[in-house]
Structure 1
């Protein structure tokens, strides 16, 4: 059984096990009439207090017995136990049940179970239940104040079980999304030095795309909330002590790159998360220095993002479709490319003027000039502004050979030349003049069209 959930940022998001297509029906109850049933109900729900008590009590006894019998060996839940625990997991989606579990000290019970558990599925379910409890602001605050529990959850990022890692990442992301406790969690994450290397290890080694996407969400949220934490993580070289070699240094940016490559092969939508992380890194001086280093990851990230834009997001004949479906991803991609292009002076091999990339930018300029209604779309406007500025950077250094290739491939035509001029003028006049000068040497007729339309 696997667990599915909506995005963690939604205020009342819930982690549930798809074992159930709906919330479980209440178990059979004993009692005398309607009054007894009402007394046993949790809040306004039809869920039974008695059944929940007995299930959690049975869980405590079960874990104690298993840990005594097999203190080291992994164990497996019975089908009946797993089904009942998954019912609790689903029930915790309800606000009244979540509050009742909190009042019943369920967080302390689950902490004890997690600490003693030798069953990956049991650990996953317990963290999932906690994740549901944390979805509501008041219960999240109470849960977040339990220091021992929070410390164990952060250490679980070093677990070897992907489903447990997924539920732990979801839980942490949920807590970071609650404004009343996010600063408390950031402080704990700063203090727990294993968090960064554990996340790096997951990103560099996992093939589970759901996990990689959720870990990316977690890193993105952390970097968005705490710039100083981001600076520390990208400049430090955390040590990975899991492998055969001792103290293997991990580079966060390279781990991010490995994760996004894995996502590209199976889950293209998850790429936007990692592109935004790269974009955040380029907003600080430390990040630009890392990407500008001769032996740094800048060129590798540039090559990857160029390939994604040209082959996955904007193929030759689908610009309209790409703008409709991928505009937010394109904004992040071009923001990263522009920042990396400005970092390339010390790279051992410079970023080649990618003909197909320039063609896509020219088509975006043309789309902007021909579709005035795009002015009402904030994301398209952001994309057009970034690509215009990027085009200006490219034209300042554009070699004559590149212009020849653009003309020969019919990428530079009367329409795209005028669209490029419209994008460059009046803000980027020197870039326009460089493009015009290169064009005058390769195709005087196109140069005349531009000077006729823009005589100044």
Structure 2
């Protein structure tokens, strides 16, 4: 693409864009800049890698404190700052910035750019954790809300999952964060099921107002969200301890209904994960483990 080439020829554009993302309070401008960056990264992975590396390395012969130049912008903190600015005022803008983060995690350098600096990793994790646990798809929201939030949630869970998988020992990934995440993931899966059930004879389908293409598009996004949610849930399930499971049973994040929903979505693809979870659950609540095994014969632990 011609404009991508032009941007590559003018490295100063990187600094200008980062400056806007990190310091502007003009939401409309931030959304437009976000859309450009999102499109750029989507079209050109090589450029994305260049931008990730731009602020990553300080030349060895030029220590930062002695350098008179401004320290280089790093892409992730700039994206986070912009996301925080647009968060409350522009849902579409937030969606765009979450997708930029997701694109960054498609390359190893991008994941490293998020997690290598503990502060950046922590900031990213805390913002995204707050969004999924306190803002999107809450227990008092109607399930249909997922139709509006499916793309942003898919991006957020995808990034959280990448951080989680690469940084299991980080302080900010404390085990107590697992239960709220499990709760959010299972709620998303429950709502996905609800959204995918299409009443055949509803008034809407009788009038033929719902375009087939719209439904297909929605189904496509819901399927992506479901797949990402299942993958992330399986990663968290693998690190659950007996203590966390006991706490989840007590607080309700791992009730029979929620475990059933999780199993329904995780099986058969994540059978080993479910089997391991059942082993731990059996130590905490044998009756529930038996009930779940009975309801999901394929999950039976092979002894």
- Indicate the larger mover: 220-229 or 346-355: 346-355
Distance 1:326 1:369, change over 3 A: closer
2:53 corresponding residue in structure 1: 235
Q: CA offsets per residue over residues 309-350 of structure 1, 9 Å max, x none?
A: 122212221151421321221122212221221121463543
Secondary structure, aligned partner of 1:269: helix
* CA deviation vs aligned residue, 1:175-214 (integer Å, no higher than 9, x gap): xxxxxxxx22211211112100111111111111111111
Q: Does the CA contact (< 8 Å) of 1:209 and 1:263 recur in 2?
A: yes
In structure 1, what is the equivalent of residue 288 of structure 2?
Answer: 446
Task: Tell which has more relative contact order, 1 or 2 (C-alpha 8 A, sep 6+).
Answer: 2
Name the CA distance, whole Å, in 1 between partners of 2:193 and 2:37.
38
Residues 1:184 and 2:8 aligned together: no
Correspondence for 1:427: 269
Question: In structure 2, what is the equivalent of residue 20 of structure 1?
Answer: none
Shift of 1:372: 5.2
Q: Is the 8 A contact 2:146 2:192 kept in 1?
A: no
- SS of the equivalent of 1:326 reads helix
| Alpha-carbon separation, structure 1, partners of 2:191 and 2:80 | 31
Cα 1:334–1:319 shift into 2, 3 Å: farther
Matched, 1:285 2:108: yes
**1:401 matched to 2:232:** no
Question: Separation in 2 of the partners of 1:185 and 1:454?
Answer: 54
Alignment of 1:202-221 (within 5 A): 202-221=20-39
Whole-angstrom distance in 1 between the partners of 2:223 and 2:163: 21
Work out whether residues 395 and 431 of structure 1, in 8 Å CA contact, stay in contact via their aligned partners in 2.
yes
For 2:122, which of 280, 292, 299 is the aligned residue? 299
1:409-439 Cα offsets, whole Å, 9 max, x none, are 2222222111111122111122102221222
Aligned residue number for residue 151 of structure 2: 328
* Residue 274 (structure 1) shift: 0.5
**Change over 3 Å in CA distance of 1:229–1:337 after alignment to 2:** same
CA radius of gyration, larger in: 1
Instruction: State the TM-score, normalized to the length of structure 2.
Output: 0.81
Tell whether the 8 Å contact from 2:144 to 2:194 is kept in structure 1 after alignment: no
Structure with greater helix share of residues: 2
Question: CA deviation digits over 1:358-402, x for unaligned, max 9?
Answer: 112122333455665269611111111111111111111112232
CA distance in 1, matches of 2:9, 2:168: 37
2:244 is paired with a residue whose SS is: helix
**SS of aligned partner of 1:412:** coil
**1: CA distance, partners of 2:244 / 2:92:** 32
Matched, 1:200 2:24: no
What is the SS of the residue equivalent to 1:337? helix
Structure 1 residue matching 2:173: 3-state secondary structure: coil
Q: State the Cα deviation string for residues 70-113 of structure 1 (Å, max 9, x = none).
A: xxxxxxxxxxxxxxxxxxxxxxxxxxxxxxxxxxxxxxxxxxxx
Residue ranges of structure 2 left out of the alignment (5+ in a row): 59-67, 199-214
Aligned partners of 2:11, 2:48: CA distance in 1, in Å? 14
Aligned with 1:266: secondary structure?
Answer: coil
Aligned residue for 1:199, secondary structure, equals helix
Question: Is the Cα contact below 8 Å between 2:17 and 2:33 reproduced in 1?
Answer: yes
The equivalent residue for 2:184 is: 360
- Contact 1:417/1:446 (CA < 8 Å) preserved in 2? no
Query: Residue 365 of structure 1 contacts residue 423 of structure 1 at CA under 8 Å; is this kept in 2?
Result: yes
The CA RMSD over aligned residues, in Å, is 2.2
Matched, 1:252 2:252: no
User: 1:355, CA displacement in angstroms?
Assistant: 2.2
1:271 to 80, 90, 94: 94
CA contact (8 A) 1:257 1:301 kept: yes
